[in-house]
Structure 1
Amino acid sequence: MSTFKRPLAALAGLCLAIAGSISSVNAAPQTLRVSAIPDEAPTELQRKFEPLGKYLQQKLNMNVTFQPVADYAGVVEALGAGHIDLAWLGGFTFVQAQQRTGNAIPLVQREQDKVFTSTFITADPNIKTNQDLKGKSFAFGSVSSTSGHLMPRYFLLKDNIDPETYFSRIGFSGAHDATVAWVEAGRVDAGVLNTSVWNKLVEEGKVNTDKVRVYNTTPTYFDYNWTVRGDLEPKLVEAIKQAFLDLDPANPEHKEILDLQRASRFVETSPENYRGIEEAARSAGLLK
């Protein structure tokens, strides 16, 4: 090879190496890393994810792993840092993730997430309405929970009930099932949680309904969704979305997945659906 051709060959090799490097950076991840807000016990989250993870693995033809986090903020930070690719978020957590990342994309939500509610519970026979909570102790879920804190607080404030002055004490249980446990054990006089989780606990006999009862329900609002980080390869994003939309309740295997997700089916969603939650968060002083 001539001395003139050698530099050209070397340059060509360098260009190929750089192109390969760029291609690997932009390529879809070999493993889809999935997480979720810890609104229930870790064992329950893992149980709900297992059949969904296997389904996504088959549909996407790639490894799918579940990465639990310690708290709600951990999901937002992991998504923003690129440590996870797909996350199950509450409406408020999505707003926080979008603010943190600038490009988080909500893909799908359950049909019922368009008309979600929170349920107020108590074991005190004297509590019939929220007005009866004056001077009582009260439990929210996580500080960052849409259905366990933000929206119930928002609706309480609309009823001229300021939790900081109206209640004798406020506790944050950290999760919906923990809120029920607190109320049942008498640690607080009343509490509020995700209506879907309440119904599930009742169906599974995990709450003593002779002791704990519902006394109020909030108006409806948008809540949970599956969100991806915005720098994922667009074809992968579309494939993930389509995988959820393809879940058919008439298919027994799909129905098992949907039942565990407390979903009738998944439908497309968009950032605009969560503008109301963002406004509620700002009015409640939970978002700057």
Structure 2
Amino acid sequence: MVRRALLKLSGVAAVLATVLAWSNPAAALDSRFKDENGDLVADTPTDPSQQIDPSTLIFAYTPVEDPAVYAKVWDGFLRHMEKVTGKKVQFFPVQSNAAQIEAMRAGRLHVAGFNTGSNPLAVNCAGFVSFTIMASKDGHFGYEMEIITYPGSGITKVEDIKGKKMAFTSQTSNSGFKAPSAILKAEYGLEAGKDFEPVFSGKHDNSILGVANKDYPAASIANSVMHRMIARDVIKPDQVVSIYKSQTFPTTGFGYVYNLKPALQEKIKEAFFTFNWEGSALKEEFARSGEEQFIPITYKSHWEVIRKIDAANGVSYACK
């Protein structure tokens, strides 16, 4: 599916982006970072004076509709991280992907979960090092991008979006913008601003609620978010209808900023991999979409399909 999207896109920008992303992926890293081992993420500075060891670790989860809800969900995990690291850990409720990336870039964020689409920008612009992802008991992870509508909208297939409004989340989101943009153009000949009117809701929760409440005739969303909203009874299953489902993508990647002291990096990893999910608020929330453990991943391999989608869209990872 994504391969077809790449082949069908044309133009100098797309070609150059593809060449850059695949002939020399490390070139996407901001100039202040080094990648001597070729893993596509920023190396820890070798000079100890350039490494940081904050007394309080700031943690942020990807933007959601109600950050207060997720502050409670993550509280038990953060208390566990405090015990493992010996540091105070504070939850930072971010309002947007851009704000989350800027916070890490400015040194105000140390540990985070960046959503699928913003992960590459966080890696290349903010020095984010992702090392884990949520998964089911059997090790399965990921989600699908779905295009949804509501019953009676007049939209029964993707082609029916032409001439109507379609909600995206933000331009940094994979399932909320980048993947559907590439797929709609390559497979259906539909371009935002030309064949339909794009609107931006800011978050998957907002897009899903907007469709359920008939504010948007269609939206592209991450179905893991929709499944949790249905499980919490935020929306009813019969309020939405899916007209497209993609291949599986990696979900939120968790990690730390590159210049933490190596010993602290290891303690943060230990906190993730030793957390007991049983009876936790984290399990109560994320088991609704199938996740019950943290497993190791690498940005280089697990985000390969996302970098392909970005190349197809001519996305730049340059810091602004």
Do the two structures share a fold, i.e. TM-score over 0.5? yes
Q: 2:229 aligns with which of 201, 216, 222?
A: 201
Give 1:5's aligned residue. none
Unaligned segments of structure 2, at least 5 residues? 1-46
Higher helix share: 1
Structure 1 counterpart SS, 2:295: strand
Give 1:278's aligned residue. 307
Give 1:287's aligned residue. 316
- Contact between 1:143 and 1:174, CA under 8 Å: does it hold in 2? no
Deviations 1:55-106 (A, max 9, x none): 21122221000122232111111111111101110122111012213x4210
Equivalent residue runs for 1:1-288 within 5 Å: 26=51, 28-101=53-126, 103-111=127-135, 114-125=141-152, 126-159=154-187, 160-167=189-196, 169-249=197-277, 251-253=278-280, 256-262=281-287, 263-272=291-300, 273-287=302-316
Deviates more, 1:195-204 or 1:271-280: 271-280
Query: For residue 64 of structure 2, what is the amino acid of its counterpart?
Result: D
Q: Distance in 2 between matches of 1:53 and 1:47?
A: 10
Q: Distance in 2 between matches of 1:132 and 1:144?
A: 25
Deviant stretches of 4+, over 4 Å: 22-27
Shift of 1:173: 0.5
Please tell me the root mean square deviation across aligned C-alpha atoms, in Å. Answer: 2.3
Identity level (%):
22
Q: Distance in 1 between matches of 2:307 and 2:165?
A: 27
**What is the TM-score with the length of structure 1 in the denominator?**
0.82
Structure 2 counterpart SS, 1:165: coil
Query: For residue 185 of structure 1, what is the amino acid of its counterpart?
Result: N
Shift of 1:232: 0.5
Shift of 1:24: 8.4
Q: Distance in 1 between matches of 2:56 and 2:118?
A: 24
Change (3 A) 1:247 1:158: farther
Structure 1 counterpart SS, 2:176: helix
Give 2:27's aligned residue. none
- Contact between 1:94 and 1:227, CA under 8 Å: does it hold in 2? no
Q: Distance in 2 between matches of 1:238 and 1:106?
A: 13
Unaligned segments of structure 1, at least 5 residues? 1-21
Q: Distance in 2 between matches of 1:32 and 1:156?
A: 41
**What is the TM-score with the length of structure 2 in the denominator?**
0.75
Q: Distance in 2 between matches of 1:242 and 1:157?
A: 43
- Contact between 1:247 and 1:258, CA under 8 Å: does it hold in 2? no
Structure 2 counterpart SS, 1:92: coil
Q: Distance in 1 between matches of 2:148 and 2:67?
A: 23
Structure 2 counterpart SS, 1:65: strand
- Contact between 1:53 and 1:65, CA under 8 Å: does it hold in 2? yes
Deviations 1:215-251 (A, max 9, x none): 32111122311121100111111111122122344x3
- Contact between 1:90 and 1:145, CA under 8 Å: does it hold in 2? yes
- Contact between 1:147 and 1:223, CA under 8 Å: does it hold in 2? no
Find the structure with the greater CA-based Rg: 1
Deviations 1:264-288 (A, max 9, x none): 2111111212132122113213326
Q: Distance in 2 between matches of 1:27 and 1:137?
A: 47
Shift of 1:213: 2.3
Structure 1 counterpart SS, 2:283: helix
Give 1:12's aligned residue. none
Higher relative contact order (CA 8 A, sep 6+): 2
Query: For residue 122 of structure 1, what is the amino acid of its counterpart?
Result: T
Deviates more, 1:267-276 or 1:123-132: 123-132
